[in-house]
A and B are shown apart, each in its own frame.
Chain A
């Protein structure tokens, strides 16, 4: 399987989707992210790994400006999406988040029906002209999230009544429904059992066809399984960034090696 990935990676010409240059994040007096620069290629899965508190989630939340909701957070540096600065004063974060969707650590479906959960994004962004179109978007999104077969007969039932893994796939369907270009996933499997994790990982691999995926994960195995590129964060620094296979087999930095071999973190 790894060999297949390698050939695939060689084949793919990687255009940069998002780019960060010299990003610093301060939470009050805490310097959470220190001078991080990274290129995230289009239509690939990029994994952020690192020990707890290393800043990987914080950096992820910079990419769609979710940190704006935290009053004490201060972000400096440049982050661009398709060459446009997302922290420019003219950018409305609401519009940005429609393009850069997010899936959270804990499944957080709205306490509404499955249908309404998925239809919410398209509704507020006016992506459909009529009910039939909306139905189409809902079906397509649920299919992409591999939830259609389980959910098609109970679309009017509450999304909170699903199992944990189904809820997370519902959240992915909900994020996909707004047709984002980038999908950020913040430890999407940490609240799931191994079987549900496997399903979501398979799904992430498929999502790569249409989206740029950035996933934060605690699990190195998961990063190795789903991602093409891996970034290792430590104490707010981006220590090493490269092709997943290389990071896990021939890390350049001793800290990366310590982490993946289980000596720190």
Chain B
């Protein structure tokens, strides 16, 4: 205050002018700028990694959604079918029928492709497909029925660039001759590529029939497990959270329970798998590979997540709301169910869906309870179907990556796309529910 220059001429800027930042301010500003740059850098790295991941999955997996197929008419004769049914090797009799029909069709089309080679382009499924149709449609004998039959995995791979003439030379499963035949059949319009519905609906197929492998059973299995998790984990988790948060006395037992719930959330999932194997299968005698067991194991795994999220949501409701209700003479339960729970609902739903999404992608515990089994039969509708053997999406992906045929790698990537779509839909649902409940008064 005794500074004499303070009242001096303004010609020279004072030492503490507002126009120029002092050293300390400059340092602080620089630090802030650096921090922002770090943040942007971190986001860019994360985003870049995500893009690379998605691109690699899409480039590997999109092929699984298209499939080369041969279309030609087959005329079934009743006596032929009867004869084939009487034969020792039924499928080879049907294969002969297919070959005959294909030869006739190729001759009609005027291509020079040998029917023997052409039939070798078909999937091993072909004869079984024809037999199934023949037995189910006795009324259509004698008329030409248009058939679309999957080309085998190597031919399909040829059109997707996985198989070339050079690689065919070295491959005992496919010859350059077959590839040439495939090309001329494509030019003739017999061999076409289309959307692969069977990838989504069909069950898994054995190692040498990659073209027939689909996700149908795995998707049903995952869906059933999610149903079990939702039906069990949501009410149990929410009830436990409400009790712990609103009613439980503050004592050491409650503290112990709280610590244990937090610990359970961090337990590796495979441990839950061992628990499920020991308790649900060995002790309770539930069937292996069944969605009910998978669902129970995933419920145990998801419960801590749901409880922690729900308790956080309940804690976030201001205590003044509870006081208001209690002050009006509402009982504890009324104050919780009429006021606290509706306000906590968005948080609870978000936590639940995050838990479900986590459970949907979980593989390790399912391996231990036999969900990795090769399952061709679709499970029945719930509730009985919950006890039928089924697979699960992440396990199916794991399973396919273990197989030799490179076609399965493509299928595995395709299955990852399906799994990611499922997760995307679930997260969108979470956001939608959140918005809806938050807006409601």
Contacts and interface: CB of A to CB of B under 8 A. Distances in A.
Contact of B329 (A95, A104, A113): A95
Given A71-B249, A108-B320, A108-B321, A120 B328 contact: yes
B441 A112 contact: yes
Contacts of A71: 249-250
Interface stretch (A16-24, A170-178, A199-207, A227-235): A170-178
Contact of A97 (B250, B318, B326): B326
Interface in A188-237: none
Nearest to B334: A124
B85 to A, nearest CB: 71
B329 A98 contact: yes
B338 interface: yes
A125 B400 CA distance: 62
A158 B441 contact: yes
B78 interface: no
Contacts of B338: 120, 124
A111 to B, nearest CB: 6
Contacts of A102: 323, 327-328
Contacts of A124: 328-330, 334, 338
Contacts of A120: 325, 328, 330, 338
B53 interface: no
B327 A106 contact: no
A175 B323 CA distance: 12
B441 A97 contact: no
Contact of B328 (A69, A106, A175): A175
Interface in A85-103: 94-99, 101-103
Contacts of B328: 97-98, 101-102, 120-121, 124, 174-175, 178
Interface residues on A, range: 20 to 34
Contacts of A175: 327-328
Contacts of A104: 320, 323-324, 327
B329 A97 contact: yes
A27 interface: no
B420 to A, nearest CB: 36
A171 B325 CA distance: 11
B386 interface: no
A68 to B, nearest CB: 9
A256 interface: no
A69 B441 CA distance: 27
A69 B336 CA distance: 13
A64 B330 CA distance: 13
Interface string A100-140: 01111010111111000000110011000000000000000
A239 interface: no
B327 A101 contact: yes
A95 B334 CA distance: 13
A66 interface: yes
Contacts of A110: 321, 324-325, 339
A96 B330 CA distance: 10
Interface in A32-84: 64, 66, 69, 71
Interface string B300-335: 000000000000000000101111111111110010
A104 B319 CA distance: 12
Interface in B27-83: none
Contacts of B343: 111
Nearest to B327: A102
Interface in B178-224: none
Nearest to B438: A111
A178 B329 contact: yes
Nearest to B329: A98
A175 B318 CA distance: 19
A104 B323 CA distance: 8
B324 A66 contact: no
Contacts of A111: 321, 343, 441
B30 to A, nearest CB: 42
Nearest to B324: A108
A260 to B, nearest CB: 30
Closest 8 CB pairs of A and B: A98-B329, A102-B327, A108-B320, A97-B329, A121-B328, A108-B324, A158-B441, A94-B331
Given A101-B327, A178-B328, 20 more contacts: A66-B326, A69-B322, A71-B250, A94-B329, A94-B330, A95-B329, A97-B329, A98-B328, A98-B329, A101-B329, A103-B327, A108-B321, A109-B324, A110-B321, A111-B343, A111-B441, A120-B328, A121-B329, A124-B328, A158-B441
Interface of B: 249-250, 318, 320-331, 334, 338-339, 343, 441
14 contacts: A66-B323, A69-B326, A98-B328, A98-B329, A101-B328, A108-B321, A108-B324, A110-B321, A110-B325, A111-B441, A120-B328, A120-B330, A124-B329, A178-B329
